[in-house]
Amino acid sequence: MIKLLDFWAEWCGPCKFMEPIMDELEKELAGRVQIEKINVDENQEKAAVYQVMSIPTYILLKDDKEQGRIIGATSKDNILKTISKYE
């Protein structure tokens, strides 16, 4: 299964901009891609493990191995294109 890690924070403007896009993707990709939202303020350990330096950061995992990373706000199409490479 493909997993998309969404590193975000409550105070992050670009994260707020991406929230409706991520909600859409969660519905569209249900059963195909698991999206895990990770608040960096509440889960600093996980952010450190993945060396997340800025948010939002989206990390694509397949079989628990990092396959791709998108840093910053981006388009829904860009996220879908990145995911489709590994499906």
What residues act catalytically? 12, 15
83's enclosing H/E stretch is helix 76-84
CA distance 49 to 5: 12
DSSP for 33-71? EEEEEEETTT-HHHHHHTT--SSSEEEEEETTEEEEEEE
CA-based R_g, the chain, Å = 12
